[in-house]
Structure 1
């Protein structure tokens, strides 16, 4: 395990290359129902995400977004197909290659903020001194260094989610997976967290795959958006976001932003009409 220092930018790697960081190939998911019939939830899912990309998956409720993310995380197996990270097949639960941030904060209430962030590092056998340094660094990255000794119940919803993100980042995953991480927040806090996450991504350039039902959120955060169709879930379209990497919230009012929003909404509407 390498030494983490505050002078080093985490997740630093070469610029975007042709080698995919995350690859989803021919993924199907079916469940047995009564009798001999099977319910197909996901059908022939194929896409790639490249190093330092921020990509969002959007789709209507019930299209299989969360199921797909759970397969990528290794929480459930695909019925067919495979998922690879850096060319290695995903066969188990999230580890050093895949960090996961859920909609719920999933913090341990009996542990302090620092202890929550350090939780995964303990299982790596990391020396205590390096754990403390790593935790201090990533709490500073998410702007919560002064709350290291606080407990989750003492934090706001947005602060709890920052702790969850810091915990995932502390393991320096190859890919950060996010399952509607701001879905439980009020509108104002949600926008603040979107801006925070984008600034964090600009700073770390960790590769991110995030699912959301919020079209504006997907456009604001990502460089590409995959639109999922439903019954069964499939990749309906891929949309490149023609916006500069650095964005502020006012960009949501721009004509370019509105045009992409219209394109995604029409894709979702077309799926609803044909479902």
Structure 2
């Protein structure tokens, strides 16, 4: 298949300087989140404090932080699954007040429907949109080809490896044509070798689709390999400690992790985390 579905037509990849000259696609403004310390308590525990993020069109951004710093809570608020206590989240200047089709979400667990084939899992959201069968087949066929699972179209999740399941989960979110894809540590459950293969897969997929993408991870090397910009979070409460532009070559492979430039970025991120 030679043509991408409408919303997934790839724009020319933009440099970080060009990104900064655009209006943000996603804005998180002075966002804070508190939870009651226990069911009967009026005391509040501040989990996120005055978070500000600007994610630009077609940008791949990562949020890095230690476990418990509030990364998943922040992503759930952006997805509309939790309300903020203060502040707001907006896409293209419009405040978000709940879940919406303009955001796709991928979790660490594969969350595939075990009774559906790979093709039907990818097409699940398309069925809800009631698009034509011909267009549905075209979109599913395209994504099966792009993720290299055409021969597994009629297989069920139990017949797939962990990495293959996560490919299908990411693709299912993309097939619904979200404006922003949110990923919550999607490779955290994978072994080291599969995890690196999936990092290459995700970067290649983003390079082909240029969807705006925000991912959280505690893996510093993963964030540097994938992102154009990294936001470093501190904990208790979670705050944005530093934002770091990653100006590595556009074409990336795993050998990049061995270069001096990559190691310098790793040192910078680790220093910010400390």
Superposition TM-score, scaled by structure 1 size: 0.92
How far has the Cα of 1:224 moved from its partner? Answer: 0.6
1:220 maps to 2:220: no
Q: Residue 154 of structure 2 aligns to a residue in which SS? A: coil
Note if 1:199 corresponds to 2:204. Answer: yes
Corresponding residue of 2:32: 28
Provide closer, same or farther for how the CA distance between residues 43 and 150 of structure 1 changes in structure 2, counting only shifts above 3 A: same
Matched, 1:139 2:144: yes
Correspondence for 2:115: 110
- Over residues 82-130 of structure 1, what are the superposed CA-to-partner deviations in whole Å (9 max), with x where a residue is unaligned? 11122222222242x1111110000000011111111111111212221
Query: 8 Å contact 2:4–2:142 — kept in the other structure?
Result: no
1:46 maps to: 52
8 Å contact from structure 2 (residues 63, 217) kept in 1: yes
1:179 has 2:174 as partner: no
SS at match of 1:47: strand
Shift of 1:36: 2.7
Verify: 1:127 aligned to 2:139, yes or no. Answer: no
Unaligned residue ranges in structure 1 (runs of 5+): 270-275
Q: Counterpart of 2:4?
A: 8
> Displacement of 1:8 after TM fit?
3.3
| 2:85 equivalent in structure 1 | 79
**Separation in 1, partners of 2:103, 2:271:** 32
- The TM-score, its normalising length taken from structure 2, stands at 0.93
Q: Residue 207 and residue 26 in structure 1: after superposition, are their counterparts in 2 closer, same or farther (change >3 A)? A: same
1:194-238 CA-to-partner distances (Å, cap 9, x unmatched) read: 011111111111111000000000000001100001110010100
Q: State the match for 1:58 in structure 2.
A: 64
Structure 1 segments of 4+ aligned residues over 6 angstroms from their partners = none
SS of 1:40's equivalent in the other structure is strand
1:265 equivalent to 2:270? Answer yes
Deviations 1:61-98 (A, max 9, x none): 11000000000011111111111122222222242x11
In structure 2, runs of 5+ residues without a counterpart are none
Distance 2:151 2:95 in 1: 39
- Give distance in 2, aligned partners of 1:66 and 1:181: 12
User: Which is worse superposed, 33-42 or 179-188?
Assistant: 33-42
- Separation in 1 of the partners of 2:100 and 2:217? 20
Alignment equivalent of 1:238, drawn from 222, 243, 261: 243
8 Å contact 1:57–1:225 — kept in the other structure? yes
**Residue by residue, what CA displacement relative to the aligned partner does 1:150-208 show, whole Å, maximum 9, x if unpaired?**
00000000000010011011011111100000000000000001011111111111111
C-alpha separation in 2, matches of 1:183 and 1:94: 25
Deviates more, 1:8-17 or 1:30-39: 8-17
Q: Distance in 2 between matches of 1:216 and 1:29?
A: 28
- Matched positions, count: 264
1:6: Cα distance to partner? 4.2
- State the Cα distance separating 1:13 from its structure 2 match: 4.2
Partner of 1:92: 98
In structure 2, the residue matched to 1:159 is 164
